[in-house]
Amino acid sequence: MPDDIRERILAVQEKSGFVPNVLIVLAHRPDEFRAFFAYHDALMDKPGNLSKAEREMNGRCSCRLENVR
């Protein structure tokens, strides 16, 4: 596993206490893993009126509406 992907997974695990299965699967496809996090970072780190917590909540609610778990 490339070092940058390993570091990102460890950071997620440290923050949330677990590693979501989607990250483990994506780790086998480094280009897709990096694209996923580039998109995530573009949404979460851009300036705007919503706090980071509000952006995360919006993402969770959107996933629930789409029945994504």
User: What is the domain-level CATH number for residue 61?
Assistant: 1.20.5.810
Q: Average pLDDT in the 9-30 region? A: 92
DSSP conformation class of 2: -
The per-residue pLDDT for 46 is 74
| Containing structural domain, residue 60 | 3-65
pLDDT for 41-50, tens place per residue? 887 777 777 7
Two tokens at 8?
């990102």
pLDDT for 18-28, tens place per residue? 998 989 999 99
Place of tokens 């009126």: 49
pTM: 0.68
DSSP conformation class of 50: S
Q: Please state the domain count of the chain.
A: 1
